[in-house]
Amino acid sequence: MSEEQQAAVKPAAPAPAQSTYKKGIVRTLKGLVIKIQFDEDMPDLNEMLYVDNENKSPLLVSALSHGDMAVCLNIGGDYSIQKGDKVTRSGHSLEIPVGEEMIGRVWDAMGRPIDGKPQLDQAVLDKMIKRPIFSPNFQETGLTNRPDEVLDTGLKVLDFFTPFVKGRKIGIVGGAGVGKTVLTMEIINNVAEGSGAISMFAGIGERIREGHELYKTLGDNDLLKTTAMFFGQMNENPVQRSLIGLAAITLAEYFRDDLKKDVLLFADNMYRYIQAKNEVSTIVDQTPAEGGYQPTVFSDVKTFQDRLATNVNGSITALQTIYVPADDLSDPAVQMISHELDSTIVLSRAVAAQGIRPAVDILASKSSLLTPEVVGERHYSLATRATAILQKYESLKGIIAIIGESELSAEDRDDYNKAKALIEFFKQRFNVMEKVTGVPGEHMTREQTLDGVEEIIGKADGSPAEPKAAEGKPAPAGEPAKPAAEAEAEQKPADAPASDKPEEPAARAEKTPEKQEPAKQDK
Ligand SMILES: Nc1ncnc2c1ncn2[C@@H]1O[C@H](COP(=O)(O)OP(=O)(O)O)[C@@H](O)[C@H]1O
Ligand SMILES: [Mg+2]
């Protein structure tokens, strides 16, 4: 448990209109740090205080010193506060209202609306439960016996190599501009749509424009009615940015524990949370530790990640983006966050530069969920073999640069070509980019992805896959040829799993394409 959690004030009744506590007095102001002297009734750590001014400026107690001094953070960034101002204790920690009423709206870390629409009616607000954002509401986060349920994202490369499983954590890791946000939007679009699940979105320290775009995308796809958004973007002060994710989790916990729901939580960007905590740490004069990060960086990561949990009530499936400073994956904060993930999707600049979208570095990505127990034998075996072929491709590339492709053995050349076909196959158009590119996105079921891979690399016993009818949306014109889409025949493989319900083939053809060299023995 972090210091923050231990010190968090117990949830209390809302502050009485007339506080009976003795007031404090503003003594020093330095940027966002304000020291307040209390002769009596010292406030608690993480307690909310309000300045007796026109704005009722909110302050958050960050540390206590010298027995009578509360070191506070100017959470609202209100610069009208002056020395000598009186300050009133609220008697409770930073709380937000929780309830269905929060859905469809955009909130700040204090639970104030920032979508330009009015605050909820006071009568509604008064009835709503208030929860402190610092401490988990429900302590029992033990794993349940619920079976792993794979969620399809409709994106081939993700569903195949880094599966999404309900109640688990998935991260999109990469430097600036490699496509983390766009990929997150596509996943929200594909996973939230049709699932009816409640979604939380936390915009942490990223561009404000992206918030507007997300709001619009959700509206266009009729997803606002199931989504609550929290924004503390880069225009906000570091105090807000460091708290916004916790506010989103607090509401997620309410839906999980009180309403027994499965919740999706999207956070863009988790690294910015650590960065904001670092900024706050610097302004309250803490000495940096590891790699220039705050001394509390480990507990900061833990505080957040431990709450993204599944328990007996319901689940929180978390997708988070992780910005990689200077493209350095060994950055300590990136490492700490990555360590918490079940599936890690690495996006790379080198891959993006080749025009591959999503720009997934397949060999750098990993998932502890890619096991026969979770994804099934067929998927597991295909993924293992496809990974081996892609690994071989990497080493063959070096050889080819020196001796040329013609010098490869027949078997190496075959694997080399299979790898190239796989890379081509995993390229995919996004639905959320349709308005930019004018080309519709593709949505593939996991079965279609498995069939597609099998057509390229053959079956485990070395025999070629029976070609299947092309299903789903065909590749748009101009898209590079996808080997899988070329195979069109109305056949089911004998080993098709029971869950594979028959679908009407989009196109039928009698021919059985001889795409694969038959019976090349895999090693
Ligand atoms: N799937 C995609 N298809 C086409 N363009 C993309 C795709 N993903 C990203 N881009 C381009 O890359 C830019 C940066 O992507 P973004 O998701 O904002 O990066 P990040 O969040 O990693 O900084 C986008 O504005 C877009 O132009
Ligand atoms: Mg981004």
What are the tens digits of pLDDT across the range 137-172?
655 655 667 788 999 999 999 999 999 999 999 999
Instruction: Compute the distance from residue 100 Cα to the ligand 2 centre, in Å.
Output: 28
| Residue located nearest, by CA, to atom 2 of ligand 1 | 357
Domain layout of the chain by residue ranges? 3-93, 100-137+149-368, 377-486
Instruction: Compute the distance from residue 403 Cα to the ligand 2 centre, in Å.
Output: 41
Nearest ligand to the CA atom of 347: 1
Residue 30: count other Cβ atoms within 10 Å of its Cβ: 10
| Residue located nearest, by CA, to atom 24 of ligand 1 | 179
Following CA atoms 170, 256, 119, 14 in sequence, which dihedral angle do they give, to the nearest 10 degrees?
-120
DSSP 224-257: GGGEEEEEE-TTS-HHHHHHHHHHHHHHHHIIII
Of 59-63, 117-121, 262-266, 476-480, minimum mean pLDDT range? 476-480
| Residue located nearest, by CA, to atom 11 of ligand 1 | 179
Instruction: Compute the distance from residue 415 Cα to the ligand 1 centre, in Å.
Output: 31
DSSP single-letter state for residue 19: -
- State the closest ligand 1 atom to the C-alpha of 172, by its place in the atom list counted from 1: 22
Higher-pLDDT residue of 496, 144: 144
Instruction: Compute the distance from residue 351 Cα to the ligand 1 centre, in Å.
Output: 13
pLDDT at residue 144 in the model = 64
Cα–Cα separations (whole angstroms), residue 327 to 79, 306, 349, 350 = 36, 26, 9, 11
Tokens of 288: 């940096």
Give the HSE-up count for residue 171: Cα atoms under 13 Å, Cβ half-sphere: 26
- The domain over range 100-137+149-368 is classified in CATH as 1.10.10.60: no
Q: For residue 285, what are the contacts with CB-CB under 8 A and spacing of at least 6? A: none
Task: Answer whether residue 387 shows pLDDT above 90.
Answer: yes
Instruction: Compute the distance from residue 160 Cα to the ligand 2 centre, in Å.
Output: 23
CB 23 within 8 A of CB 88: yes
Asked if domains 100-137+149-368 and 377-486 share a fold, the reply is: no
- Strand locations in 358-474 (E): 366-367
3-state class percentages of the chain: helix first, strand second, coil last, to nearest 5: 35, 20, 45
Q: Which residue ranges have their beta carbon within 6 Å of ligand 1?
A: 174, 176-182, 357-358, 430, 433
Confidence of residue 279 (pLDDT cuts 50, 70, 90): very high
Task: Quickly name the fold that domain 377-486 has.
Answer: 1.10.1140
What CA–CA distance (Å, rounded) separates 413 from 221?
45
Nearest ligand to the CA atom of 269: 2
Read off the pLDDT of each residue in 279-297 and give the average, rounded to a whole number.
84
**Residue showing tokens 């869950």:** 499
pLDDT at residue 391 in the model = 97
Dump pLDDT digits (tens) for 214-246: 899 888 888 899 999 999 999 999 999 999 999
Tokens of 348: 């790379």
Read off the pLDDT of each residue in 459-475 and give the average, rounded to a whole number.
61
Long-range Cβ contacts of 347-351 (<8 Å, 24+ apart): 347/172, 347/173, 347/174, 347/178, 347/179, 347/180, 347/183, 348/174, 348/178, 349/174, 349/175, 349/177, 349/178
Report strand pairing: 33-37 vs 24-30.
antiparallel
Report, as residue numbers or ranges, the catalytic residues: 180, 206-207
Provide the whole-model pTM.
Answer: 0.84
Q: For residue 385, what are the contacts with CB-CB under 8 A and spacing of at least 6? A: 457, 460, 522
pLDDT at residue 284 in the model = 86
Task: Give the mutation target among 153, 172, 180, 182 for probing the ligand 1 site: most ligand atoms within 8 A of CB.
Answer: 182
What CA–CA distance (Å, rounded) separates 328 from 494?
46
Tokens of 239: 């105090």
CB 386 within 8 A of CB 455: no
- Span 3-93: which CATH code? 2.40.10.170
Task: Answer whether residue 127 shows pLDDT above 60.
Answer: yes
| Residue located nearest, by CA, to atom 10 of ligand 1 | 179
Nearest ligand to the CA atom of 182: 1
- State the closest ligand 1 atom to the C-alpha of 176, by its place in the atom list counted from 1: 23
What CA–CA distance (Å, rounded) separates 463 from 255?
49
Confidence of residue 401 (pLDDT cuts 50, 70, 90): confident
What CA–CA distance (Å, rounded) separates 252 from 273?
18
pLDDT at residue 139 in the model = 57
| Residue located nearest, by CA, to atom 9 of ligand 1 | 179
- State the closest ligand 1 atom to the C-alpha of 268, by its place in the atom list counted from 1: 21
pLDDT at residue 140 in the model = 60
Read off the pLDDT of each residue in 291-320 and give the average, rounded to a whole number.
91
